[in-house]
Structure 1
Amino acid sequence: MLSLTYFSTATTPLDADDLRELLERTRSRNASVGLTGLLLYADGSFVQTLEGPDDVVEETFARISRDTRHRSVSVALHEQVDERHFPDWSMGFRELSDEQTRSVPGFNDYLDGRNAPRTPGGNRAEAFHRAFRTFAP
């Protein structure tokens, strides 16, 4: 199974409706192809980890890389893993009210640190997410 973590910048900032639509669309598509992961968004910056069958992860990342809503797409981690570290597709983001974020199915308060994965010893993808959570504007 492949785990790929990348960073990118949105060409246009996303609001609550944009994020809700993105999450709803990606969760159903990803579930249908066996893809899991975590997408974090703060102040126009993304960090995402995709996990699943090698070909599915590679195809998904290629599609993301071509998406004109992203720029400065940079792979931070590309590795084979034995198990999923983010088995439930979720998304964390900042700059929305608590009410707005709680209304989005699949929202996770990961950026606030209250709902981060508890993998013993952690893993390399989690380290990128922790750094993003800590240093994102």
Structure 2
Amino acid sequence: MHYLIYQSSALIPRNSSEHDSILISSYRCNKRDDITGFLHREQDNFVQYLEGPKDKIDDLLHRLEKDWRHKGIEVLDEGTLSTRRLPDWQMGMVEQGTFAISDLLEISDTKLAIKSADPFDLVVFMVADAGLLRQIFDADAN
């Protein structure tokens, strides 16, 4: 099992319907390729954590590099895992007053300069954020 975390600059507006399109196509393709993880949008930045077979993650990264909805992909960390940290694939958007990378890692509100952050801290954030969203979704469903 392989994992990868990257950041990129979003080229679509924060409230764009393209976010739904990302969610739908990612769910379908990632399920097919046995990839799980979490896509987080904060300000004008995407941060994504992925886990699955290395060849499938490499293929996905090549597709993402061609995606017009963002630019400047920078791989922050990658390596091997013995077990998955996230059992499914989710996407989260940070709005005012929600759990943000800048809160956890003490990063400036004006820019996510996360390339200097410890990648393990980013993975912990992504897992915690996905868990928080899962709890909110489960509460809303009941």
* TM-score normalised by length of structure 2: 0.67
- 1:3 matched to 2:3? The reply is yes
Aligned match of 2:105: none
Structure 2 unmatched ranges of 5 or more? 102-117, 130-142
Q: What is the Cα deviation at residue 125 of structure 1?
A: 5.5
Aligned match of 2:122: 128
Q: What is the Cα deviation at residue 16 of structure 1?
A: 4.8
What value does the CA root-mean-square deviation take over the aligned residues? 2.5
Counterpart amino acid of residue 45 in structure 2: S
C-alpha contact (below 8 Å) 1:13/1:43 kept by paired residues: no
Runs of 4+ in 1 over 3 A off after TM superposition: none
- Partner of 2:82, secondary structure, is coil
Q: What is the Cα deviation at residue 14 of structure 1?
A: 3.8
- Partner of 1:68, secondary structure, is coil
- Partner of 1:28, secondary structure, is helix
Aligned length: 109
* TM-score normalised by length of structure 1: 0.69
Aligned match of 1:83: 83
Partners in 2 of 1:40 and 1:92 — Cα distance? Answer: 5
Partners in 2 of 1:5 and 1:112 — Cα distance? Answer: 16
Counterpart amino acid of residue 42 in structure 1: E
Q: How has the CA–CA distance of structure 1 residues 125 and 52 changed in structure 2, closer, same or farther, with 3 Å as cutoff?
A: farther
Q: What is the Cα deviation at residue 36 of structure 1?
A: 0.5
Structure 1 unmatched ranges of 5 or more? 97-108, 114-123
The worse-fitting range, judged by mean Cα deviation, of 68-77 and 34-43 is: 68-77
Q: How has the CA–CA distance of structure 1 residues 31 and 126 changed in structure 2, closer, same or farther, with 3 Å as cutoff?
A: farther
Q: What is the Cα deviation at residue 40 of structure 1?
A: 0.3
C-alpha contact (below 8 Å) 2:36/2:51 kept by paired residues: yes
The Cα offsets for residues 8-46 of structure 1, whole Å up to 9 and x where unpaired, read as: 011232425221221111111110110101100122211
Partners in 2 of 1:26 and 1:68 — Cα distance? Answer: 15
Aligned match of 1:121: none
Partners in 2 of 1:44 and 1:55 — Cα distance? Answer: 29
